[in-house]
Amino acid sequence: MANGTWKIARRSNAQLPLVIVMALAVVLVLLGKAQSGLFDRARMSMTDWMQPILSVAHAPLVQFDRWVGSIDELFSVYQENLRLKDENARLRQWRNVAVVMQDRVARYQSLLHAVPDPGVDSVLARVIGRASRPFLETMILDAGSTHNIKPGQAVVDARGMIGRIYLAGSRTSWVILLTDLNSRIPVSISPGNRQAIMVGDNTAMPTLDTLSQIVTLRAGDQIVSSGDGGLLPPGLPIGTVVEQGGKYRVALLADAASSEDVEVLAFRKPPEQLPSSLELPAVAAGLPPATATPPVITIAPEPPVAAKPAAPP
């Protein structure tokens, strides 16, 4: 009997730490949901503090990857050299065409008084870390708010757009990738300038949510940023439409896993201006024509009232 009682007590003592651990896990999950902003600030401060350590620790890994890549490239240097020579010759021909077209477009814009595109400032940053969690795909950059980096700015590499700034500390910043579950950006589909929303789903190729039922997608269509909302500059290359399992997805041009140096774009949205009276339509909905100056209304004085002749006595 005593032996049975000892076994029950031993079993209950063994289950007690498990119950405590589960209770602590539930408390931490609830605190994380309720104080997400506090945890984000704490994580950002910790990342800023560890930025030198991350940079030093990441440098050997980058150098090792470069050595491995250099060894692989030695086996195809000759073929690559021939291909680059042919490509260089073709690009020289296209460069002459581009110079002529650029001059022609400049003349057309001058004749049509076209509004120039808003300027885009950029900051060059280096990737010093990557984080992949079940519901968040991010990378860490070695530039922050001291370099005028703000949340929402676009991050690109030499091939195309990678993501957007999610958090910005003083010396580091976090980038939410286009493949992340929380990523949604307005895009334009060419040809045809069709509008859609590109939605990340934690896979290598995001999906497209068309804004209209009549929008048709075809494999090979080009995807660029539309610039709707004024946060992202229009025309950033993103990817190509591919069909996979009966559903259209976007094959991204940029590979976030191999990007080392990126560019953060600070897009300056042009200020909105109300149209002046000179820009109003001449006739609108049966109303009188608009004029640059308001009409002057004059009120004629009333004629004097003639005095009645007096009645004869």
Give the model confidence (pLDDT) of 144-164 as tens digits. Answer: 989 999 998 999 998 899 999
Inform me whether the pLDDT recorded for 3 exceeds 60.
no
Share of the chain above pLDDT 70, in %: 73
**Average pLDDT over the chain, rounded to whole?**
77
The pLDDT value recorded for residue 292 is 45
Greater pLDDT, 54 or 23: 23
The pLDDT value recorded for residue 6 is 47
Greater pLDDT, 85 or 302: 85
Nearest CA among 195, 243, 237 for reference residue 219: 243
- Number of Cβ within 10 Å of residue 113's Cβ equals 6
The mean-pLDDT minimum among 33-47, 173-187, 217-231 falls in 33-47
What global pTM score does this model have?
0.56
Greater pLDDT, 32 or 225: 225
Inform me whether the pLDDT recorded for 5 exceeds 60.
no
In whole angstroms, how far apart are CA 194 and each of 197, 215, 219? 10, 7, 14
Phi, psi of 211, rounded to the nearest 5 degrees: -80, -15
Residue 285: pLDDT band by 50, 70, 90 thresholds? very low
Share of the chain above pLDDT 90, in %: 18
Residue 302: pLDDT band by 50, 70, 90 thresholds? low
The mean-pLDDT minimum among 65-74, 205-214, 233-242, 251-260 falls in 65-74
**3 state DSSP class of 102:** helix
Nearest CA among 148, 234, 218, 244 for reference residue 186: 234
Burial 49-86 (b: 16+ CB within 10 A, else e): eebeeeeeebeeeeeeeeeeeeeeeeeeeeeeeeeeee
Task: Please give the torsion angle defined by the CA atoms of residues 217, 219, 220 and 221, in that order, rounded to the nearest 10 degrees.
Answer: 10
Q: Can you read off the two tokens belonging to residue 213?
A: 């039922």
Cα gap 27→31, rounded to integer Å: 6
The pLDDT value recorded for residue 11 is 53
Greater pLDDT, 270 or 228: 228
Cα gap 14→11, rounded to integer Å: 5
Greater pLDDT, 70 or 227: 227
In the chain, count of helices (H) and strands (E)?
4, 12
Q: Which of 41-50, 111-120, 251-260, 282-291 ranks highest by mean pLDDT?
A: 251-260
The pLDDT value recorded for residue 267 is 77
Inform me whether the pLDDT recorded for 33 exceeds 80.
no
Cα gap 104→260, rounded to integer Å: 37
In terms of DSSP H, where are the helices of the chain? 2-34, 36-49, 51-73, 77-112
Cα gap 218→237, rounded to integer Å: 17
Inform me whether the pLDDT recorded for 200 exceeds 50.
yes
Burial 99-112 (b: 16+ CB within 10 A, else e): eeeeeeeeeeeeee
The pLDDT value recorded for residue 279 is 47
Inform me whether the pLDDT recorded for 176 exceeds 80.
yes
